[in-house]
Amino acid sequence: MKNNHAMLCMAAALPFAVSTVFAQNQAPAQPVVEDAYTLKVPTAPASQVSGTGYELKGTTISGATAAPSQPILTAPVGDAAAYKTESGVYLYPTVFVGMGYNDNLQTTATNQISSSLINVAPQLIAEMKHKGDRYTALVSANNINYASSAADNSTNSEFKIAGDNYFTARARAAWSLGQVRSTDPRGANNRPISAEPDRWTSNNVDGRFIYGAPEAQGRVELDLGNTNKTYDNNRANTAVADVSVGSVASRVYYRLGTRSLALGEIRSAKYNYVSSLSTDSNTERRYYVGLTWDATAATTGIIKLGRMTKDFDLAGRQGYEGDSWEATVRWMPLTYSAIDLQTSRSTAEPSGFGNYAINTGSDLTWNHRWTRSLTTRAAIGLLKTDFAGTTRSDNATSYALTVDYAVLRWLKIGVDWAGIDSTSNEPNAAFKRNVTMFTLNASL
């Protein structure tokens, strides 16, 4: 089932990796929190394309501030050291290397395939600043090799250029252009399992305009995006999944106090499936009201409550109209410890089983820095998936534990473990999986 892609579970266990190679179905979404505790919203499943605006927006976890120093759509580099070229361009190279074991590659209930693996993921960010504006180019690759299942090997890549432009103290805008080449691992959706993973290419254009100074009474944001996703192989099964997504989102913030704002948000995404054999083309809309706050030095959050609709182009096909929400609350009892609670409810694109899926999930994550060198991350997630038009209902529980040790300023080693237990009233859809990794992260 593509809507519950287990890449989200693996993100919980591999916070520095870009390893989509473990992506499988029916795993809960997990936010990734790095050293600075900057929230990164869960990435959409590889087999699901979401347009701009389908994230918990805001340049901080709460969105209560919009400091010009924060990236808008350009790539963040955090505290990484850089190599400065003579032309004034800063280069930030990093590499992730992981060696481990996956005991259920295809997330099956029977005939499970297990294998040791090696994952190598280099990345390079180039940054240039000019008169207050910021521009970045990102290039990354992600190669996974399984010792006992070469058919599941994959190499993914991403290229993106972006710019954050500041016109006045009130007005700023950002844009990004990029291409992603990735895969749906075998068993990651309801399509028949082929001899090799389903490879796809996605071309993406995104833009955002913001009007309102960081401390102003109000702020307005507008997002526009377009994504074209095309499968490159196994066309007998994947051609019906080619899709173009156009999206728009608008948000209004109104300051209630020094540390809190009310918000209203409308988002719309039009999914146009290219194949004449597909009946999945639809329009999805979300309507939210909510609150963002930096209530104290220890607590921040954003809560959005509202309604969601999914209307199919095909007359008579069952759509959705119901409750939807997005919320994240962070508590930092200590400057070196952060606890995040995230919950959401929304629909997901059709996956070949049922008209669509309704995902209701909650995740709890604890990041703690024990010493200057030693950090840990523990996470647990719950996800309930109901398949509209069927009686099928899945429940997945995921666990993750990460330990990282900074040997040098530029070198970290670690151990990651992630487990998932997914049950279903369809016996063949239930599975268990454990993945253990020894990791290395290096930068300048």
Task: Please give the Cα distance from 244 to 274 (Å, whole number).
Answer: 7
Residue 164's closest CA among 87, 247, 69?
Answer: 69
Tell me the mean pLDDT in the region 172-190: 91
Tell me the mean pLDDT in the region 41-68: 39
Per-residue pLDDT at 266 exceeds 60: yes
Q: How far apart are the first and last CA of the chain?
A: 39
The pLDDT score that the predictor gives to residue 69 is: 64
- Alpha-carbon distance values, 357 to 354, 380, 385 (Å): 7, 22, 6
**If 0-12 CB within 10 Å is exposed, 13-18 middle and 19+ buried, where does residue 284 land?**
buried
The pLDDT score that the predictor gives to residue 11 is: 34
Question: pLDDT confidence of 50, banded at 50, 70, 90?
Answer: very low
60 or 274, which is more confident? 274
Q: Which amino acid is at 302?
A: I
Structural tokens at position 192: 């028949």
The pLDDT score that the predictor gives to residue 354 is: 82
Task: Express each pLDDT in 61-89 by its tens digit.
Answer: 445 555 556 899 999 998 788 999 999 99
The pLDDT score that the predictor gives to residue 283 is: 96
The pLDDT score that the predictor gives to residue 107 is: 87
The pLDDT score that the predictor gives to residue 138 is: 97
Residue 316's closest CA among 389, 209, 421?
Answer: 389
The answer for residues whose C-beta is within 8 angstroms of residue 241's C-beta and 6 or more apart is: 47, 191, 229, 231, 273, 278
Task: Please give the Cα distance from 233 to 238 (Å, whole number).
Answer: 7
Four-CA torsion 348, 28, 9, 372, nearest 10 degrees:
120
- Alpha-carbon distance values, 398 to 18, 318, 359, 363, 435 (Å): 19, 31, 15, 9, 11
Task: Please give the Cα distance from 243 to 230 (Å, whole number).
Answer: 7
The pLDDT score that the predictor gives to residue 190 is: 76
Contact between 101 and 94 (Cβ < 8 Å): no
Average predicted confidence (pLDDT) for the chain: 84
Residue 247, Cβ neighbours under 10 Å: how many?
22
The pLDDT score that the predictor gives to residue 63 is: 53
Question: pLDDT confidence of 158, banded at 50, 70, 90?
Answer: very high
Structural tokens at position 205: 């254009």
Burial state string for 85-101 with b = 16 or more CB within 10 A and e = fewer than 16 = eeeeebebbbebbbebb
Contact between 263 and 251 (Cβ < 8 Å): yes
Per-residue pLDDT at 33 exceeds 70: no
Beta bridge partner(s), residue 397 = 382, 421
The pLDDT score that the predictor gives to residue 157 is: 97
Tell me the mean pLDDT in the region 287-310: 90
Q: Strands 374-387 and 357-369, how do they pair? A: antiparallel
**Per-domain boundaries in the chain:** 2-443
Task: Please give the Cα distance from 103 to 113 (Å, whole number).
Answer: 7
Per-residue pLDDT at 302 exceeds 80: yes
Task: Express each pLDDT in 333-383 by its tens digit.
Answer: 998 999 999 999 999 887 778 888 999 999 999 999 999 999 999 999 999
Name which CATH class applies to 2-443: mainly beta
Residue 63's closest CA among 222, 225, 255, 223?
Answer: 255
Tell me the mean pLDDT in the region 408-427: 94
Percentage of the chain surpassing pLDDT 70? 84
Residue 358, Cβ neighbours under 10 Å: how many?
21
Contact between 78 and 166 (Cβ < 8 Å): no
Per-residue pLDDT at 199 exceeds 90: yes
